[in-house]
Amino acid sequence: MKISINERAVLQLIGTGQATSQIQLARALQVRPPTVHGIVKRLEKSGLLTRDRTDRGKPGRPIQHFQVKRQGVVLAIEWLGSHGSAGVFRDDQLQGSIQRMDSPPVNNLDAALRYLRKIRDAALAQARLAPSDLAGAVLSLNALRAARERVFSSSVIPWIRQVSEQQFSDALGCECQFDLRAGWVVHELRARAAEKESCLVDLSVGDGVSAHWSSVDLQWGSERQYRGELGHVVIDPKGPICGCGHRGCLEAWASGPALRKRVDADVKSGIQTALAQVADQSPRELFSQLEALHLAGTDSYASTMAEEFLDRMAWCVSWILNVIGPEVIMLSGYGLEGRESWRQRIIQKARAWTLYGETADIRLEFPRLKQQDYLRELARSFKGLPIHAVNG
């Protein structure tokens, strides 16, 4: 079908996520809402747009958001260093099942590409597809791109500075794009629209430590997201070297690899602890064992380490509340997510360092979205897919 310039503009805005509701489109295009309504109706009827989420938490009528309908099979991978997950999507539908896979320490690009091909093949096998069936791939990395620079940086995967998206595309056999946004936080805030929450911070502990956050204008529905590299705040100038090159960063004390490194060194020096059994396993396993021993109270070394970790998390929570003041702080990453006893302990500790102390409303919650939901959002963000049925 032939589409007009205005219709192309609407598809572009929705496809890139810059404006996804009719009121946002009207503001972006500087046209009257009835004009946008007519364009959206035509595109929806033609099969170029499909309805997405509905925000019901604002006064007045619910706000309907839209997404571009695309064709093709997309591989979505979230790889944060020591573990990853992958899924294959066709028209928003998961093909097969989500594949999760721990990763050994990866020190160079070749090792990273071997791991990504392995998890790609596992996801494709579940979907009963071949690499040649892929239209593209989206890779969520624990990295960022410096403003106005083409290079990437990461304290977790420092070798990323020497790579490009094209190298990953060549290795995976399809066009690959990086997703370096603030992770789950935007999608989590959207999932809570009915509760009229306007600001959410994602305190995440895994191979790294971060506090990304997102806010939304409740009147217009416009969203903003910010990267919060709280893990690179120096808490002890004489502390261990962090992956960023500085000494004594929070991440060098509280991340999964940092704790595993500490346990390994202490065990070799003669410390007796049950954590020695998992010192050579993944950081995820170390955290699980640390939580179990802390609850049991049978291992003094593990209990001390856990309390020190929780003290640092309570400091993070108090900093976030005092500086940003969100309605909700989400606890994510394999170091925090799902650990209910630790959530309660962090709240208790944080009250001592938070404005208004015991009367402070500290809401610490776990993610509501599932891994499949986030990977679906990654697949939707792929920009290489042709828009369904557009000609001319």
Instruction: Measure the CA–CA gap between 105 and 83, rounded to whole angstroms.
Output: 10
Q: What are phi and psi of 382, to 5 degrees?
A: -65, 125
pLDDT digits (tens, 9 = 90+) for 70-104: 668 999 999 888 889 999 999 888 999 999 998 87
Helix (H) / strand (E) containing 5: helix 5-15
Q: State yes or no: pLDDT of 24 exceeds 90.
A: no
Q: Does the fold of domain 195-365 match that of domain 73-183+371-380?
A: yes
Place of tokens 């893990």: 231
Nearest to 221 by CA among 31, 338, 64: 64
pLDDT confidence of residue 377: 84
pLDDT digits (tens, 9 = 90+) for 352-383: 888 776 767 889 999 998 889 889 888 888 87
User: The whole model's pTM is what?
Assistant: 0.81
- CATH code of the domain occupying 73-183+371-380: 3.30.420.40
The share of the chain scoring above pLDDT 70, in percent, equals 90
Place of tokens 């509701």: 21
Contact 338, 372 (CB under 8 A): no
How would DSSP label each residue in 103-147? Answer: -----SHHHHHHHHHHHHHHHHHHHT--GGG-SEEEEEES-EE-T
- CATH code of the domain occupying 5-68: 1.10.10.10
pLDDT confidence of residue 263: 95
Which fold, 195-365? Nucleotidyltransferase; domain 5 (3.30.420)
The domain ranges of the chain are 5-68, 73-183+371-380, 195-365
